[in-house]
Amino acid sequence: MASFQILNILVEPIKAALAVSDTQYSLMQGLAVAVFAALLGIPAAIIADRGNRRRVVMVGVMIWSAATVACGIAQSFGQLFAARMLVGVGEVFLFPAALSIIADVAPSRRLSSAIGIFGCGGPIGTAFALIGGGWLMRHQSLVAGAFPAPFAEAWRVAFLMCGAQGAVAIGLLLTVPEPRHRSAAGHLQHTVGATAVYLQNHWRAYIGVSGGMLALSFCVFATASWSPTVLVRVHGMSYSSAGQLTGYAALLGGVVGAWAAGILTDRIEARGRRDAALRVAAAVSALILLTIIGAVLSASAFWAALLLCATYSLLGMPTVLAGTALQQITPPAMRAQVMAIQVLLVNLVALSLGPLAVALLTDHVFGRPQAVGYALAWADGVGALAAIMALVASRRRFSQQRF
């Protein structure tokens, strides 16, 4: 996750070094990562549903670590875009397999809490990226003296350090045993055809849940990609200060938020609300809408920063809630494949369009870089309202299809 989020605190240095616009930069934030998701997500999930999921995750870690190092040595927009394409492999391999493992080892009454703990990894990775990237930007002279000329720029060192963390992740994965696959209800087959038939027969439940979570993820990626830039361009903060502020917000608020989303969902469900995950997701959508509008409209740098930090505390929740809800309406034999489809859609729709929408609004509607806050508010407003409507509309069918 650190290698994915580090790009968000390095906007101006990379734009200056490689001569790219906001719109081009947003393509590296989103579309580049989504390309391989479209090609490899489903095959990786089929392997995960049939075989060793830990190995699937390890292969993903190896590829995205190497790709992150390649980002650090890129000499042009095209090279950096190509390296970012490979970074997307990591998420494609990780989430479907990891969530399938969690669903097999966690008791059903604690599923959301278990996914919540897993979801804390995203905010932690984001925090390391933002805080570490901000520190490197603040100590560029130290970086220049410590690294040879081709890698003396702080933004390059940031990518190289993120890539090196992959070795640690692989070492930790070697300590994780592969759990036994739970048997599928009704002896459903581990095939793409069986999954397609099942989704076709139950599309009304999936379209609302998946669509609502996609709209919420759209807000997450738009906010994570451009919030530090809002603080820099609108309120005059340095990138190092903005990185530290949003990084600590992601670490403290994001981790607590992801964990709290799981606990809250389980507690609401324990009271007989089978649609608990959707209720919490709708509430999160409303909170994101309110906090981001408040941050953009605030003339005070202090209040804008405080409200953006509050928004960051919500960004780890959608992964937990989407993972919980889709696992709850999907047979065990198909969970990795269904999550891979959702990850594919998140990458192609939310990740590609969230950052891009803000950049296009900034460049072509408002026409000035300092309007990035208004662009973010419009993008998040549309996404949050769409999420609330889809989630509320799908509650009854979701409850009926629950396993």
pLDDT at 1: 53
pLDDT in tens, 221-280: 999 889 888 998 999 888 778 877 877 787 777 777 788 888 899 899 989 899 999 999
Torsion of CA 120, 122, 128, 129, to 10 degrees: -170
Nearest CA-CA partner of 217 in 281, 275, 269: 281
Nearest CA-CA partner of 344 in 7, 26, 93, 68: 93
Q: How far apart are the first and last CA of the chain?
A: 31
Nearest CA-CA partner of 277 in 199, 345, 209: 209
pLDDT at 173: 83
Average pLDDT over all residues of the chain? 83
**One-letter amino acid for residue 348 of the chain:** L
Average of pLDDT values for 50-73? 84
pLDDT at 357: 94
Average of pLDDT values for 352-370? 91
Q: How far apart are CA 285 and CA 282, in angstroms?
A: 5
Choose the most confident range, by mean pLDDT, from 98-112, 199-213, 231-245, 338-352. 199-213
**Helix ranges (DSSP H) in 298-348:** 301-312, 317-328, 335-345
Average of pLDDT values for 329-346? 82
Domain borders along the chain are: 2-176+190-401
Distance of CA 278 to the CA centre of its chain: 18
pLDDT at 238: 82
% of the chain residues with pLDDT over 70: 89
Q: How far apart are CA 267 and CA 212, in angstroms?
A: 22
pLDDT at 188: 42
Nearest CA-CA partner of 216 in 32, 346, 23: 346
Distance of CA 183 to the CA centre of its chain: 30
CB 66: neighbour CB atoms within 10 A? Answer: 15
pLDDT at 184: 46
Does 40 have pLDDT greater than 80?
A: no
Fold of 2-176+190-401: Growth Hormone; Chain: A; (1.20.1250)
CA contacts within 13 A on the Cβ side of 203: 4
pLDDT at 149: 63
Does 78 have pLDDT greater than 70?
A: yes
CB 184: neighbour CB atoms within 10 A? Answer: 16
pLDDT in tens, 277-323: 999 999 999 999 999 999 999 988 899 989 988 898 888 888 889 98
Nearest CA-CA partner of 274 in 209, 183, 338: 209
Does 37 have pLDDT greater than 70?
A: no
| Coil, strand or helix at 279 | helix
pLDDT in tens, 156-208: 888 888 888 888 888 888 887 887 765 544 444 456 678 888 888 889 889 99
Query: Residue 45 corresponds to which tokens in the numbers above?
Result: 């999930």
More confident residue, 278 or 403: 278
**One-letter amino acid for residue 342 of the chain:** Q
The DSSP call for residue 71 is H
Give the lowest-confidence range in 23-27, 323-327, 396-400.
23-27
> Which conformational region is residue 231 in: left (phi greater than 0), alpha (psi within -120 to 50 degrees), or beta?
alpha
